[in-house]
Amino acid sequence: EPEVTQTPSHQVTQMGQEVILRCVPISNHLYFYWYRQILGQKVEFLVSFYNNEISEKSEIFDDQFSVERPDGSNFTLKIRSTKLEDSAMYFCATTWDRRINEKLFFGSGTQLSVL
């Protein structure tokens, strides 16, 4: 089965540093999402992306966060100035056409640790 690929699997950074998390979606998928999961807590929606623009975002997705798909393959999440509370597992998810099939395919995640 096709997979969503995320890199790196682990990222350790100092508070205030910028991080970029990368995702390679399944090739024919059109909708892309970032979710995060703080240890022991629920999977939380951050942002959805379609047709090279943000389609929805949550309250968590503030000005410190940005997403882009610069080269038509990688889908990235950037956190400009990381905070301790940004420590979490970040999941990229993609789907083909959410109006037809809402099954989300999740990547294996990036564990972000902010020190």
Q: Could you list the residues that contact another protein (CB under 8 A)?
A: 33, 35, 41-45, 48, 56, 91, 98-99, 102-104, 106-109
Closest separation in Å from C-beta 74 to another protein: 18
Q: Would you list the DSSP string of the chain?
A: ----EEE-SEEEE-TT--EEEEEE--TT--EEEEEEE-TTS-EEEEEEEETTEEEEE-TT--TTEEEE-TTSS-EEEEESS--GGG-EEEEEEEES-TTT--PPEE---EEEEE-
CB of 54 to another protein, least distance (A): 12
Min separation Cβ 15 and another protein, Å:
24
Cβ-based nearer residue to another protein, 57 or 69: 57
CB 104 within 8 A of CB 38: no
Closest to another protein by CB, 15 vs 43, is: 43
- Closer of 71 and 85 to another protein (Cβ): 85
Residue with smaller CB distance to another protein, 1 or 71 = 1
